[in-house]
Chains A and B, each alone.
Chain A
Amino acid sequence: MAQRLFVRRRDGRIEVRLNDAARSLAREAFARVLAAEMDPDHEWHASLNAPIDPSHDVDDPLATLSRQHEVTSNVELAIATLGEAYLNDAEAWAWLCTLQVALRATITAKGIMTSERLNEADESTREYLMTLQTFLFALADVM
């Protein structure tokens, strides 16, 4: 039986059972989300700035500012708690959001919007996506 990556303890905290390699991969994903949010030329930037109302050329500036602020807050909290053995609910939510943003940004940047395109993707991309999905499955399971 595979070891669970996250475990909800009796006191309500979530125990993180990622090994060094898994934490390193999470660290890289979090860092890329933060870089993409700040750099308009980053390949993930478009995914992080998807239209809110596609019928208008420009979205409400307050809404886009709010999104930017919330994404940055989540990723900063996720990075700050990367070395922790336990997460509270707010920290776990920040991890889940940031990992999911990384997952979606990867497929958007690579144009993988259908199952067919996913099957055609190169092996390293599919492996990376599967690893993020594994983290997300495990985290969602305890939330």
Chain B
Amino acid sequence: MPSLKPLRVSDESQTESVTATITARPWNVIVWDDPVTPMSVVVVIFRKVFGYPNNKATQLMLTVHHEGRAVVWSGPLERAQGYCVKLQVAGLLATIEQDA
């Protein structure tokens, strides 16, 4: 078994490590429920914006409907912003948040 030498960790490298961890945390695209948007419209929008198959789009729509919100996509910040914009352009109430 190879011996392990304790590594000397400077404050700077610790900071870099924390920053890297925060940056690596994915961003979630959230869609929020409202009392008027037809369910079938939400399914069409999920299919069109994300290219999801009908069953996945329907399942996400039902999560929004029953739980008030759903994470519909997770990943890098720029793509999350792009998807959020597309959902807002399609008239859905959507936001982004970094994964906890």
Contact = CB atoms under 8 A, between A and B. Distances in A.
A31 interface: no
A129 B92 CA distance: 15
Given A63-B81, A66-B85, A70-B85, A104 B92 contact: yes
A2 B82 CA distance: 39
A4 to B, nearest CB: 14
A133 interface: yes
B99 interface: no
Interface residues of A, number: 38
Given A52-B84, A107-B36, A113-B34, A100 B90 contact: yes
Contacts of B97: 53-55
- Chain A at the B interface: SS class: helix
Contacts of B86: 70
B89 to A, nearest CB: 4
Contacts of B40: 137, 140-141
Nearest to A143: B44
Interface of A: 50-55, 60, 63, 66-67, 70-71, 74, 93, 96-104, 107, 112-115, 117-118, 129, 133, 136-137, 139-141, 143
